[in-house]
Amino acid sequence: MERPTSDRLFSGQELTKREFLKFFGTGFCLLSASCLFGFPRTSQAQGMRKGFIKTKLSPYFTPLGGGEIRCELCPHRCRVSKGKRGLCRVRENRDGKYYSLVYGNPCAIHPDPIEKKPFFHVLPGTISYSIATAGCNFRCKFCQNWEFSQASPEDIFNHDVPPEEVVKKAKEIRSHSIAYSYVEPTVFYEYMLDVGQLAKKAGLLNVTHSNGFINPGPLRILCKTLDAANIDLKGFSESFYRELCSGELTPVLETLKTLKKEKVHLEITNLMIPTKNDDVNIVREMCLWIKKELGADTPVHFSRFYPLYKLRILPPTPVSTLEKTRAVALSEGLEYVYIGNIPGHEAENTFCPKCKKMIIQRTGYMVGEVNMKAGKCKFCGKPIPGIWT
C-alpha cells in the first residue's frame, strides 16, 4: 500500500529524499492544496475527532446462536462473540448483529496522483481523491501505514465525511477518480460501496488498491461499481502469506481471476522483499501464473522495499534485484512490467510491446510524453489495455 506522505509532512516528521522527490516531483504542491481544499495539517486538526463517529450494520454475517456471529466479508470468517470484534478491529458484534465502526469515518483523505496507487494504465497525470479508514484484515510485518492499518478506530482521529460529501469534494477539486487505498478497503466495504455508487452516477471512476483478501460474493457486488483495481500479490507461496501477513495466498488468486472475469481493469503490485519473496524461481512461477490466468497484457509493478514497521532489520531491495526480476517477467512473456519506488528509473515508462517505442514517459509521479491515440500506440497502432478517457 502506498503511504499518504502528507501525514508525515504536516506532522513535522522528516521525509526521506525518496519521499520528498516522489511527493513534490508531481508538480502538485500539497502545501497549497491543503489550504485550497481545506484538508487538516495534523491528525488533531479542527474537523477531526478521536473515536467513533458513525456505525452501519453489515450485510455480511451469519448468526450462529447464543449471540455469536460469523463474518462473511473476508476469508478469515471470524467467529465473534457479543461485544467482541473481528481480526480487522473495526467490526463489532452488538447483541448478535455485526456493525462496521468506520462507516463515513475516514482517517486519511488526500488528493493523490493516480500514478501513486500505482495505476500506470488509468488516466495518466490525473488526480485521484483517496480515502481510508482505520483497520486491516492482514498483519503485514512490512506495512507502510501501520499507524492506522493496525489501529482501532477509537485510537485515532477521524473525519466525519458521509458518502455524498466524498463525491462532492472529489468533484470540487476536479478529481477524475476516487481511490480506496492506504489500508485494506475491504474493512470499510459498506462505505466504499455507497461512495462508489454515488461516484459512478457523478461520472467519476472508482479505483482501489487492495490485498485482494475478500470473499467472492461481496467482491462481485463491488465489481458493479469498480473500474480498476491494483492488487498486492505480496508473494507467491502460502508460507509467505502465513508468516509475514497472517493471511492466505489462494483467496487472493481467486480475487484476481474474478476481477479479470468481471472486466475490472487490473494491475498487480509485488513488493520485492530481500530474502523473503525475491527467489527468482518463485518469481518466474508467479509470472507464468499471471500470464496464463490473467493475460500477458496485465501490468505488473515490482516495487522496492524499504525497512519499515517490523522488518527494519532488512536492507532496501537492491536495484539489481528489481531489474533482474523485471527481465525474468519480460522473458516469460509479460508485456507491461514496471519498477516502482525508484524515481527516474527507465522502467517507470510504458513501452509498446509491439514496436518497443516509449508511449508514456514518467519520472516519479510526473507524466511527460504520452504517445497514444484513442487507446492505441501512436507509432504502430497496437491497442494498449487500460482506461484512457
Across the beta sheet with 265-272, what order do the strands follow? 108-113, 127-132, 177-180, 205-210, 228-232, 265-272, 300-304, 337-340
The pLDDT assigned to 127 comes to: 97
Q: Note the pLDDT tens digit of each residue in 209-253.
A: 999 999 999 999 999 999 999 999 999 999 999 999 999 999 999
Average pLDDT over residues 15-37: 36
Q: Note the pLDDT tens digit of each residue in 147-204.
A: 999 999 999 999 999 999 999 999 999 999 999 999 999 999 999 999 999 999 999 9
Helix/strand/coil for 110: strand
| Cα distance between residue 136 and residue 89, in whole Å | 8
∠ CA 114-256-72, rounded to 5°: 105
The pLDDT assigned to 60 comes to: 97
Q: What are the phi and psi torsion angles at 268 (to 5°)? A: -125, 140
Q: Which of 33-42, 81-90, 270-279 has the lowest mean pLDDT?
A: 33-42
pLDDT at 7 over 50: no
- Return the closest-CA partner of residue 121 out of 265, 243, 231: 265
CA dihedral 212, 58, 198, 137 (to 10 degrees): -30
The pLDDT assigned to 9 comes to: 34
Which pLDDT band, with edges at 50, 70 and 90, does 54 fall under? confident
- On average, the pLDDT of the chain sits at 89
- Between residues 6 and 265, which one has the greater pLDDT? 265
| Cα distance between residue 190 and residue 225, in whole Å | 12
Q: pLDDT above 70 covers what percent of the chain?
A: 88
Which pLDDT band, with edges at 50, 70 and 90, does 51 fall under? low
Centre a 10 Å sphere on the Cβ of residue 144 and count the other Cβ atoms it contains: 17
Q: Note the pLDDT tens digit of each residue in 123-139.
A: 999 999 999 999 999 99
Place of cell 485482494: 212
| Cα distance between residue 386 and residue 377, in whole Å | 12
| Cα distance between residue 149 and residue 250, in whole Å | 22
- The tally of CA atoms less than 13 A away on the side-chain side of residue 315 is 6
CA distances, 386 to each of 119, 224, 228, 266, 376 (Å): 9, 17, 9, 8, 10
| Cα distance between residue 212 and residue 219, in whole Å | 9
Q: pLDDT above 90 covers what percent of the chain?
A: 85
Q: Note the pLDDT tens digit of each residue in 335-347.
A: 999 999 999 999 9
The pLDDT assigned to 53 comes to: 74
Q: What are the phi and psi torsion angles at 219 (to 5°)? A: -65, -45
